[in-house]
Amino acid sequence: MTIQQLDYAIKLAHFQSYKRAAQELGISQPALSMQIQKLEEELSLVLFDRTRKKVEVTEKGQLILQKATILLNEANQIHQLAHRLHNEMSGELNIGIIPTLAPYLVPLFINQLNNTFDRLKINIKEALTEEIIHDLKVGTLDGGIISTPIRSSYHFQTQPLFYEGFKVFVSPLHALYAKDEVDISEISMKDVWLLKEGNCFRDQVNNICELNGAKKEKESQELFYFESNSIESLSRIVEFKGGITFLPELTTLHISVEKEDMIKELAGDKKMREISLINLPNHVRAEDMQAFAEVIKRNIPRHLLNKGNGQTVPTNVDIN
């Protein structure tokens, strides 16, 4: 059994296709098939069910691949540690950031990176939480900046960085536009534009509305339906089509003065999302990530650093 064979098996499990996995690995399908077969023979286990259209991991295969993922990540960290010992604070730091945060957070600290990391290359990838968690497990990301808390069978290390309040963005055509504060019980869900499923911010908005009495009326009879991974897109829809959307606090820093009246506070206890740096424990680049976290903290509005009496809204993220 080799590290390479385990890597091949993990790629096959991810893509559920010999063709796609072979393309990703840069080898032929027969070569991939042969290595998977050798691995199964050595383990005396069938790791993959090949009788279906998609290649699926067997129940026993799941257990083997969970351990293989940890092993590959440790092997990758050995290479990183050797490089780090050879040349302190150099190499690459790969960070994933969720889409509802990246466009608004990164500009706040991007110009400060060179002052802190003069020889360390920072690679930032915008991705949904599930993808970030997957990439952390397989070692293609060193850390992630996501909304927490999350539930996972992996024991991730999380460090809260700051807390964002939830705002409501209301069309001038909507009845709630006249209010400075919006009570959630006054909101009708048929008027709310939501992000696509898979975005934890969507789940948090639904949690806020469900737990605080938003009206679950019949779906709108409008013949136009729009969902997006972009908060900016939803804001534009509200401006031109009407209705309501929710915004995390950092997005409001970029809204023009003419549109500030569209931003409304939520009445009652402040609802917040916790933003954290997440990584595997004892990561070889833990010191670099801590330095990266400090850069972020130094460059965001100071009031976001303290939760105060705010309520953290759950994310519903549950990943094995």
- Based on the fold, state whether residues 290 and 258 are members of the same structural domain: no
What's the structural domain count of the chain?
A: 3
pLDDT reported for residue 247: 95
- Based on the fold, state whether residues 264 and 238 are members of the same structural domain: yes
Average pLDDT along the chain: 87
- Identify the CATH number of the domain in which residue 17 sits: 1.10.10.10
Domain annotation covers residue 76: no
- Based on the fold, state whether residues 193 and 128 are members of the same structural domain: no
- Assign 147 a pLDDT band (cuts: 50, 70, 90): very high
DSSP string, the chain: --HHHHHHHHHHHHHS-HHHHHHHHTS-HHHHHHHHHHHHHHHTS--EE-SSSS-EE-HHHHHHHHHHHHHHHHHHHHHHHHHHHHSTT-EEEEEEE-TTTHHHHHHHHGGGHHHH-SSEEEEEEE--HHHHHHHHHHTS-SEEEEEE--EESS--EEEEEEEEEEEEEE-TTSGGGG-SEE-GGG-BGGGB--BPTT-HHHHHHHHHHHHTT-B-PPPP--S----BS-HHHHHHHHHHH--EEEEEGGGGGGS-GGGGGGEEEESSSPEEEEEEEEE-TT-TTHHHHHHHHHHHHHHS-GGGG--TTPEEPP---EE-
pLDDT reported for residue 216: 73
Residue 162 has pLDDT above 90, yes or no: yes
- Based on the fold, state whether residues 139 and 121 are members of the same structural domain: yes
Residue 90 has pLDDT above 60, yes or no: no
| Phi then psi dihedrals of residue 251, to 5 deg | -65, -30
Residue 211 has pLDDT above 60, yes or no: yes
- Identify the CATH number of the domain in which residue 247 sits: 3.40.190.10
Q: 10-44, pLDDT tens digit by residue?
A: 989 988 888 888 888 888 989 999 999 999 999 99
- Assign 220 a pLDDT band (cuts: 50, 70, 90): low
Domain annotation covers residue 79: no
Q: 191-203, pLDDT tens digit by residue?
A: 999 998 888 899 9
Domain that holds residue 177: 164-271
pLDDT reported for residue 50: 84
- Based on the fold, state whether residues 12 and 144 are members of the same structural domain: no
Domain final residue pick, 40, 71, 102:
71
- Based on the fold, state whether residues 7 and 102 are members of the same structural domain: no
